[in-house]
Chain A
């Protein structure tokens, strides 16, 4: 079945540092790829998405590019802020959506001032 693998944290960075959270996937066909963010005590919010190879999703300074050749969708941000501290989930929907949204295990990001 479909699966998503992402680096597990916690990842601790200083404010204004460069962020990369790695995500790779296994899926049949051409999945849609997503990054969700969960702030402390809250639900999941869609951060960005990409639906086909070489698409770049971006939002709030975060970016991720759909790389079919490496089956990856790494999340990046050039300069993180304390307010970016949260848990980040990479996810995919494959095969027409019949199996639902499959999540990675989440990466806890901690930004220190």
Chain B
């Protein structure tokens, strides 16, 4: 059983396109996150949702829009893709706040914009 699953695993697309990445967790966690990992492996939080409500919204372009239809799903939609959006995007989940438990991560989506 995959705890946090993301689709697709790889995504190659042209500049200007709109794309979505889906994430689902079956752990019963109530908080979900999106992280971006750049080419130097640096990980930075983008968004966090708790019970479908946005609680962390870091400074990212408004072309990025998260959507949480229920607490088991957090999707990431990206409009007008740019070359600089190429990265690996990780979804994660935790019990509320993750304090003491940490997060469980998906296997990542490697986005390449050409």
Which positions in A face B, CB cutoff 8 Å?
Answer: 32, 34, 36, 38, 42-46, 49, 51, 87, 89, 91, 93, 96-103, 105-106, 108
Contacts and interface: CB of A to CB of B under 8 A. Distances in A.
Contacts, number: 69
A101 B98 contact: yes
A18 B97 CA distance: 34
Nearest to B103: A101
Interface residues of B, number: 27
B60 interface: no
B96 interface: yes
B108 A43 contact: yes
Contacts of B100: 32, 49, 51
Give chain A's interface secondary structure class: strand
B56 interface: yes
Interface of B: 31, 33, 40-45, 48, 55-56, 90, 92, 94, 96-108
B43 A103 contact: yes
A97 B98 contact: yes
Contact of B56 (A38, A45, A87, A100): A100
Contacts of B106: 43
A103 B98 CA distance: 14
A100 B41 contact: no
